[in-house]
Amino acid sequence: MPATANDHPADRPRSWWGWGYADAQPDDAECLALGALLPGTLARPLPLPRIADLPIGDPGATPPASLAHLVTADPAERAAHAMGKAYRDVIRALRGRPGRIPDLVARPSRDQDVADLLDWAGEHAVAVIPFGGGSSVVGGVEYRGDAHRAVLSLDLTAMDRVLEIDTTSRSALIQAGALGPVLEGQLRPHGLTLRHFPQSFEFSTLGGWLATRAGGHYATVRTHIDDFVQSLRVVTPAGTSASWRLPASGAGPSPDRLFLGSEGSLGVITEAWMRLQERPRHKAAASVAFTDFHRALDAVRDIARSDLAPANCRLLDPGEALLSGASHDGSTVLVLGFESATAPADDRLATALELARAHGGRAEPPTAGRGAEAGTAVGAWRSAFLRMPYLRDGLARMGAVVETFETAATWDRVPALIDAVRTEVGAAALEATGHRATVNCRLTHVYPDGAAPYFTVVVAGRPGDEVRIWDDIKAAATDVLHRHRATVTHHHAVGRDHRPGYDTQRPEPFALALRAVKNALDPHHVLNPGVLLGRHTP
């Protein structure tokens, strides 16, 4: 059946240089208040950057008349497509050093538009960078190099419709440019949901989630977008790839797995059949406080090994709990949430709380139903979770270095990994800045065999030297992850900035195979030079 048409939400200006909406960015007074909490920051916030001050020259290529209606060279559009939203990107914009700004921005509305743009780019030495919502935090949407005469940012957000819903199979055909709220708004009238909610949900697209193998908010079982894919349609310079729509198959290597996580280096994902779920009708949540972080880890491991499958199972160390407002007494806090479309979730929550108490946890009274989390530690965490990227930008304006990096490791390695990151990354930040850093940890996703620790580093920087400091801290973090056999990324993709760490982890035969695929699908090296292709030079 066709999807119900859904009007787009009212336009709200996005920040071209920072996270989210322009009107949600901290003002100067809030920036000063944030800076007062971190000794060594600037006396006044850096001024908001202006597009008029950027070095935006004339485009290095001109599209033919047949494509002109799809393409713009507007300076504001080009600036908004120049970088992602990592700290490194934000501070470069604030310092007026955004890097290579794309020459052109294109907004195709159908597959043929994408194919025509790739054909033109291949004939004229124009690099193409697929672009969704622009929330990349790993340098995945910017061009670094000089092998092409011009750069085209291929913005897919005009391709944002749910084209068809199959209620029998409970799945939907969705265009890749649909932002999270737009996608869910079209599914809601049918009582269905994709149920994939990354922190960037408002500002990222289905295609971006697929191209980066994104992780969502769900803490167990269905943690990654991979789990929801039935089939993909991908336009490449060598033609279109369309996999069969199947619930499962053992017929050799999966064509979808080739493109999932390829970050636009092999083709442009334009459509996908996605598995859906009924919208949850029953919810229950609670928080548990621990005086011992390592006993809390044991509790989380037991919950992960049970068949309870919590939707939310986030462990906040004392620093993270304080930062989010979930605790003010030095406790480690476990945030638990359960949901179901068919039956109350209270019994599963009660069982999880029993497991937590067995490891010394002190549970608050559970809450149930929609909106019941307000006023609890769970609600405080949720509010802080959504606001945190904006506060990161406010601290950046005060000259602080603020960044989160994530990983995953097996349970036998998790405790030592966390201890090593706190110690060694903290030492690297102190050496780079002369200031002591705060290194907080939280577990965001848990599995029977391991967990995904996320680390947030906050330290006062040196004026004008923030990017180098960021690079030094990242290098120290990458070294720790490598030594502890932890992945360089749990769900933030590889991009340009994770590339050195990725190269030490990927098997060489795998890289060799990907180089061969890249050369076959993109013989003219049109697409943004791939991050997954080993030592390949475009």
pLDDT at 372: 44
pLDDT at 499: 85
Which tokens belong to 308?
Answer: 């309870």
CA 399 and chain centroid, separation? 24
Residue, of 1 and 432, whose pLDDT is higher: 432
pTM above 0.85, yes or no: yes
Residue extents of the structural domains in the chain: 1-279+506-538, 282-381, 398-505
Beta bridge partners of 275: 171
pLDDT at 376: 63
- At residue 147, φ and ψ (nearest 5 deg) are -85, -5
Which tokens belong to 69?
Answer: 């209606």
The yes-or-no verdict on residue 371 having pLDDT over 60 is: no
Q: How confident is the model at residue 352 (pLDDT cuts 50, 70, 90)?
A: very high
pLDDT at 504: 87
Q: What is the pLDDT of residues 444-453, one digit of tens each?
A: 999 999 999 9
Q: What is the pLDDT of residues 220-233, one digit of tens each?
A: 998 999 999 999 99
The fold adopted by the segment(s) 1-279+506-538 is: 3.30.465
Query: CATH for 398-505?
Result: 3.30.300.330
The yes-or-no verdict on residue 381 having pLDDT over 70 is: no
Q: What is the pLDDT of residues 118-135, one digit of tens each?
A: 999 999 999 999 999 999
* Mean pLDDT score of the chain: 91
Q: Is 477 exposed, middle or buried (0-12, 13-18, 19+ CB in 10 A)?
A: buried
Q: Is 317 exposed, middle or buried (0-12, 13-18, 19+ CB in 10 A)?
A: buried
43 HSE (CA, 13 A, CB side): 0
pLDDT at 368: 63
222 close to 228: Cβ distance less than 8 angstroms: yes
Q: What is the mean pLDDT of residues 85-95?
A: 95
**DSSP symbol at 68:** G
Beta bridge partners of 299: none
Alpha carbon distances (Å) from 114 to 128, 177, 267: 10, 12, 10
Q: What is the pLDDT of residues 211-222, one digit of tens each?
A: 999 999 899 998
Q: What is the pLDDT of residues 4-26, one digit of tens each?
A: 444 445 578 999 999 999 999 99
The yes-or-no verdict on residue 234 having pLDDT over 60 is: yes
Which CATH number fits the domain 282-381, given the four candidates 3.30.70.3450, 3.50.30.30, 3.40.190.10, 2.60.40.420?
A: 3.30.70.3450
In 3D, which of 149, 159, 35 has the Cα closest to residue 106?
Answer: 159
Which tokens belong to 216?
Answer: 């969502």
The yes-or-no verdict on residue 148 having pLDDT over 60 is: yes
The yes-or-no verdict on residue 1 having pLDDT over 60 is: no
Q: What is the mean pLDDT of residues 345-361?
A: 96
Q: What is the mean pLDDT of residues 232-238?
A: 97
> Position of tokens 């509010």?
383
Which residue blocks in 74-110 are alpha helix, DSSP H?
Answer: 75-80, 87-94
pLDDT at 298: 97
In 3D, which of 200, 155, 214, 254 has the Cα closest to residue 495?
Answer: 214
The yes-or-no verdict on residue 281 having pLDDT over 80 is: yes
Q: Is 537 exposed, middle or buried (0-12, 13-18, 19+ CB in 10 A)?
A: exposed
Q: Lowest-confidence range among 109-113, 189-193, 325-329, 425-429?
A: 325-329
pLDDT at 167: 95
pLDDT at 284: 95
Q: Which residues contact 268 (CB under 8 A, 6 or more apart)?
A: 114, 118, 128, 130, 154, 156, 176, 207, 234, 235, 236, 527
Q: What is the pLDDT of residues 167-219, one digit of tens each?
A: 999 999 999 999 999 999 999 999 999 999 999 999 999 999 999 999 998 99
Percentage above 70 pLDDT, the chain: 93
CA distance 131 to 136: 9
Q: What is the mean pLDDT of residues 144-149?
A: 88
Q: What is the pLDDT of residues 34-67, one digit of tens each?
A: 999 999 999 999 999 999 999 999 999 999 999 9
Percentage above 90 pLDDT, the chain: 82
The yes-or-no verdict on residue 301 having pLDDT over 50 is: yes
Q: What is the mean pLDDT of residues 477-491?
A: 95
Q: What is the mean pLDDT of residues 369-385?
A: 60
Q: Comparing 282-381 with 398-505, is the CATH topology the same?
A: no
The yes-or-no verdict on residue 419 having pLDDT over 50 is: yes
Alpha carbon distances (Å) from 468 to 88, 91, 407, 437, 513: 9, 11, 22, 16, 34
Q: For helices 377-397 and 87-94, give the axis angle rounded to 10 degrees.
A: 40
Q: Is 535 exposed, middle or buried (0-12, 13-18, 19+ CB in 10 A)?
A: exposed
